[in-house]
Chain A
Amino acid sequence: MSKILIRGARVLGGDPQDVLIDGGTIAAVGTGLTAGDATVVEAAGQVLLPGLVDLHTHLREPGREDSETVLTGTRAAAVGGFTAVHAMANTFPVADTAGVVEQVWRLGREHGYCDVQPVGAVTVGLEGKQLAELGAMHDSAAGVMVFSDDGKCVDDAVIMRRALEYVKAFGGVVAQHAQEPRLTEGAQMNEGVVSAELGLGGWPAVAEESIIARDVLLAAHVGSRIHICHLSTAGSVEIVRWAKSKGWDVTAEVTPHHLLLTDELVRSYDPVYKVNPPLRTEADVLALREALADGTIDCVATDHAPHPHEDKDCEWAAAAMGMVGLETALSVVQHTMVDSGLLDWAQVADRMSFRPARIGRLAGHGRPVSEGEPANLTLVDAAYRGEVDPAGFASRSRNTPYRGRELPGRVTHTWLRGRATVVDGKLV
């Protein structure tokens, strides 16, 4: 593998430096670096980050290849600056066996755009009744460390307790989709002023918060790690903050769209805004931003949820929930957190690479940009401003709420173990 010299990049937003990649490893970081045989990437003014890591991606393969495949999803990830994604288990068949998780993992390896770390289902068929073979999935080639029934909540307290206890044997973590099912029967959007006006079934904040409260207590009781998926309410933030103040091993994520969009947008009845958990209020958005800034929320996770056009081009009630997010995640984070002064680029690296990799126990990712580390890197033109055009997405699906919206930042290069997957904003 040839050498690459990234010249003049602001590593983690700091002063300009040169970074030399040799093979799959960072060979040197400093100023005035030279390498005669290296391909030079002029990066003056651009921000160099460790390759982004997503804890929460839906790749849809196997089963819904009309929405996304491991190939198209990882291409989208590379365009978005990601070098590793965790693929959620709600596929068809469900990723609840060693065979399915290995299949997904191998497809990721073969395509080579981004490492794919499968998430295993907590329960068989995501049905919440019987524990899936968590150990077998961990022991498989995929080495599963994160388990989640995402899309569904593990609402049975005993099953949740057992899962939390069981994964302690190999350091795994249970990632909970916090949604009390009875409180959200028929729910279609955030419960509040807007849902009352629109006549759409309300999804109360307490349906999320009550499960989080229960689960942090359960995790503390059995001494296990728990990760809370896509926090969406100010109350959820308070519970996680309280649990952390107790010293409990609780982590949490927030999606880019929950940092930016509110339930007021649902007034359009445009299903592009239909998402699970639902878009909440302005006060919730501000609380989530603050919590990401102060570290209460550990990381940003995309919840990239691709759907074919026909699943969204319909009436609200019939539409699928979710939106794509891999290719716009960094721009939304820059817009909501960096440009507003809530986070600097070093903290973005922490929230979008270091911490998610640590939560997923993902070796080789989320490492410092320093000599001897794997060359998983992302170069960002933070000064860029442009309108989002989904026609150019690498994802197979286009269900983005940002069509035509101006967002800052553009990933110009992504390197996976020293191999460029994106150059000048284009897939390689």
Chain B
Amino acid sequence: MLRHLISAADLSRDDAVLILDTAEEMARVADRPIKKLPTLRGRTVVNLFFEDSTRTRISFEAAEKRLSADVINFTAKGSSVSKGESLKDTAQTLEAMGVDAVVIRHGASGAPYRLATSGWIDAAVINAGDGTHQHPTQALLDAFTMRRRLVGRDTGLGRDLAGRRITIVGDILHSRVARSNVDLLHTLGAQVTLVAPPTLVPVGVERWPCDVSYDIDTVLPGSDAVMMLRVQRERMNAAYFPTEREYARRYGLNGDRMARMPGHAIVMHPGPMVRGMEITAEVADSDRCTALEQVTNGVSIRMAVLYLLLGGNEPAVTHTRTEEK
């Protein structure tokens, strides 16, 4: 396993499948009366959040606590960062307190990479989302959700997503989720198609391991999973698209469009969902929408990543069952 998790592109197929398999074991913990493992007892993990993200922070915190780690939450707002302290100083201060891992969310692309490679700290670094760059645990939880739904919870163990057709719709340009998913899904053997207005497709996307379409209606019938991305309303001021109404008409997922998807196909969303624009309530509330499952799976995936990065040499399940005796 890697020492840090910065980018989904850093994961080999075997690494990724190991994380997904380990997450299945971790998911079983959630079915127990006491949802806790002693795995990271005595280890300290800092959640270093320079950017607001309640759901990701809580997800990591839940994962850390289920593994019995000591957890320190650090938010930039109201901290020494707001008094001008640099990332380097903040990180070094935390490391001086004996931190084993840093989970970092930062508005600047590359900040976790700098933290991991600059020599400022020795702790393991887990990227919890950086700018418009990467959000690898989101991609892993998405892949986990797809594998469970499209391959099967038990039958999926040890398997990847070879041959599955995944469509990602929306603001690709500003989406770290899209970048991470393209990298990881490609590694796992899936065929990815990005759908967006041309203004929201990055220059250079032709080098990415995916297809690009501007027409959602031609792509949906061949999709096993359709991942809708959040469209930020402030983008409208920058003229990425004319109006919310036009966006919804051309790229929104509504009941009619969902009906054209294959029967087994699922609808995904990393949340928070903007209902009415990128996704209608009818779709969001349907059985085919996995948004809440993705949240649940996020905890299992983050448990698996923390476990593996912080020295989990033995299979998690064996270790777990030993502790139960």
Report A's interface with B, CB cutoff 8 A.
188, 191-202, 204, 268-269, 310, 313-318
Contacts and interface: CB of A to CB of B under 8 A. Distances in A.
Contact of B208 (A188, A196, A269, A315): A196
Contact of B203 (A196, A269, A316): A196
Query: Which of B9, B133, B134, B176 has most A Cβ within 10 Å?
Result: B133
Given A195-B202, A199-B109, A314-B86, 4 more contacts: A269-B114, A314-B87, A316-B111, A317-B111
Contacts of B202: 195-196, 202
Interface of B: 9, 86-88, 106-111, 113-115, 117-118, 130-134, 176, 179, 202-205, 207-208
Contacts of B131: 199-200, 317
A112 to B, nearest CB: 38
B108 A317 contact: yes
A199 B176 contact: yes
A188 B131 CA distance: 12
B110 A197 contact: no
Nearest to A315: B111
Contacts of A310: 86
A318 B109 CA distance: 10
A268 B118 CA distance: 10
Contact of A196 (B88, B107, B108, B204): B204
The 6 closest A-B pairs by CB, nearest first: A199-B133, A317-B108, A269-B110, A193-B204, A196-B204, A199-B132
A315 B114 contact: yes
24 contacts: A191-B203, A193-B204, A195-B203, A197-B179, A197-B204, A197-B207, A198-B110, A199-B132, A199-B133, A200-B109, A200-B132, A200-B133, A201-B132, A202-B202, A268-B117, A269-B109, A269-B114, A314-B86, A315-B87, A315-B106, A315-B108, A317-B107, A317-B108, A317-B110
A227 B132 CA distance: 36
Given A199-B109, A200-B109, A316 B204 contact: no
A153 B132 CA distance: 27
A193 B202 CA distance: 9
B204 A192 contact: yes
B110 A200 contact: yes
A316 B179 contact: no
Nearest to B116: A269
Contacts of B115: 315
Contact of B207 (A193, A204, A315): A193
B86 A316 contact: no
Nearest to A195: B204
B177 to A, nearest CB: 11
A188 to B, nearest CB: 8
Nearest to B238: A185
Contact of B113 (A193, A197, A269, A318): A269
Nearest to A188: B109
A192 B208 CA distance: 12
B109 A198 contact: yes
A200 B114 CA distance: 14
A172 to B, nearest CB: 38
Query: Which of B110, B117, B131, B202 has most A Cβ within 10 Å?
Result: B110
Contacts of B109: 188, 198-200, 269, 316-317
Contacts of B203: 191-192, 195-196, 202, 204
Nearest to A191: B203
Contacts of B88: 313-314
Query: Which of A188, A192, A200, A269 has most B Cβ within 10 Å?
Result: A269
Nearest to A266: B110
Contacts of B179: 197, 199
Contacts of A195: 202-204
B294 to A, nearest CB: 21
A82 to B, nearest CB: 33
B87 A318 contact: yes
Contacts of B110: 198-200, 269, 315-317
A268 B86 CA distance: 19
B130 A199 contact: yes
A315 B110 CA distance: 7
A401 to B, nearest CB: 16
Contacts of B108: 315-318
Contacts of A314: 86-88, 114
A122 B197 CA distance: 40
Contacts of A201: 132
A268 B109 CA distance: 12
A194 B204 contact: yes
B204 A199 contact: no
Nearest to B6: A269
B208 A199 contact: no
Nearest to B202: A196
A194 B131 CA distance: 15
Contacts of A268: 117
A313 B115 CA distance: 11
A201 B88 CA distance: 22
A51 B88 CA distance: 42
Nearest to B173: A196
Contacts of B204: 191-197
B128 to A, nearest CB: 14
